[in-house]
Amino acid sequence: MPSLMYLLQLTKWFSSPLEFFKLNIRKLLIEALKKGPIPNHVAFVMDGNRRFARMHGIETLEGHWLGFGAFLEVIDICFRTGIKVVTVYAFSTENFKRSKSEVDGLMDLLKMKLSEMAEHGGLLERYGVKVVFPGQLDLLRPDVLTIVNRTMEMTGQNLDRTLNICCPYTSRNEIVTAIRDTVIDFSTRMPPVPGRTPLPGCQASALNTRARARVSIYGDPTQKMKIPWWIATTGSIGPAALDHQDIAYSKAPVFAGPEIIDDQTLTDHLWTKGNPPLDILIRTSGVRRLSDFMLWQCCQVTEIVYLDVLWPEFSLWHFLPVLVGWQANAS
């Protein structure tokens, strides 16, 4: 009867060529994908770690560890394919309601894996990845926050790729924060024009009359963005409706008018500001809901895909049909 060592050696002998074959097939498939259009921004709701652990009779934290392995494989595929921005739902603020042992385990896992990812020659350096943490960072443990800030600082100059790790995050809080920041911006007095002297009231009024004749912020909505944002004031164009020739402003505080606030204004105040529009949002585990993730970003042209596979099992073979389908629609 063959010994255990012999069987292990035999398994290793057969598995090496098999792994080599799989790696080459994967490389060929990724190169084939790169021949077509590539999405700029893909997001993942990484759902199913706990269910996977229950189904396989292992500890919940082990399921999260396996889920992190799938996360590394997926972002490697994304960046190798040419996707510029990847956003993952790593931890919801609602997850703090779970048991203390699970939350602490997840925070320890985050600390350890972030340190590994940021190592010299690691994935972040290989692809030139800037790491961003959209979310309420003040809710993190101090030791975790230190690692998070260090990772963002270390990768802040990378410009090739962006990895958004949403933690701790909910979309409602992101939108509320964007509204609050917009209100603060529009409640701040605009700076005076450098090197200019305010004109007398009657002269400034005359210049304003000429300016109002040139453009109306209440007319064609396409015209309002042709005016610099600091020109508009509440209720009228006000004493700053100027061009490079007609300069007039009053000594009174001047504020930007709310009538110029639009969806782009809010987008520019989100935690994901500066990112390209979201092309694909994938949720694993078969659950068909967004769970308070990227609600603002996925409301227009995003292709939302629900996959009946648990996150630790997610791989190129599940991702490939999604990318091919998106390419077919984009062509």
Does one domain contain both 42 and 70?
A: yes
Does one domain contain both 165 and 289?
A: yes
Give me the mean pLDDT over the 306-319 stretch.
96
Does one domain contain both 57 and 117?
A: yes
Give me the mean pLDDT over the 256-274 stretch.
90
Question: How many domains does the chain fold into?
Answer: 2
> Could you tell me if residue 16 is inside a domain?
no
What does the pLDDT read at residue 117?
A: 86
pLDDT digits (tens, 9 = 90+) for 144-192: 999 999 999 999 999 999 999 999 999 999 999 999 999 998 887 766 6
Does one domain contain both 71 and 150?
A: yes
- The number of residues in the chain equals 331
pLDDT digits (tens, 9 = 90+) for 214-259: 443 434 444 444 444 444 444 444 444 444 444 444 455 567 778 8
What does the pLDDT read at residue 24?
A: 77
Does one domain contain both 294 and 247?
A: no
> Could you tell me if residue 235 is inside a domain?
yes
What does the pLDDT read at residue 202?
A: 39
Give me the mean pLDDT over the 25-30 stretch.
86
pLDDT for 56 beyond 50:
yes
pLDDT band at 61 (very low <50, low <70, confident <90, very high): very high
Per the structure, the complete domain to which residue 91 belongs is given by 37-169+271-330
> Could you tell me if residue 142 is inside a domain?
yes
What does the pLDDT read at residue 119?
A: 77
What does the pLDDT read at residue 194?
A: 59
pLDDT band at 203 (very low <50, low <70, confident <90, very high): very low
Q: Which of 30-34, 63-67, 233-237, 314-318 has the lowest mean pLDDT?
A: 233-237
pLDDT for 212 beyond 50:
no
Whether the CA torsion 260, 266, 267, 268 is positive or negative: it is positive
> Could you tell me if residue 116 is inside a domain?
yes
| HEC assignment per residue over the chain | CCCHHHHHHHHHHHHHHHHHHHHHHHHHHHHHHCCCCCCCEEEEECCCHHHHHHHCCCCHHHHHHHHHHHHHHHHHHHHHHCCCEEEEECCEHHHHHCCHHHHHHHHHHHHHHHHHHCCCCCHHHHHCEEEECCCCHHHCCHHHHHHHHHHHHHHCCCCCEEEEEECCECHHHHHHHHHHHHHHHHCCCCCCCCCCCCCCHHHHHHHHHHHHHHCCCCCCHHHHHHCCHHHCECCECHHHCCCCCCCCCCCCCCCCCHHHCCHHHHHCCCCCCCCCCCCEEEECCCCCCCCCCCCCCCCCCCEEEECCCCHHHCCHHHHHHHHHHHHHHHC
Does one domain contain both 277 and 164?
A: yes
Is the model more confident about 276 or about 222?
A: 276
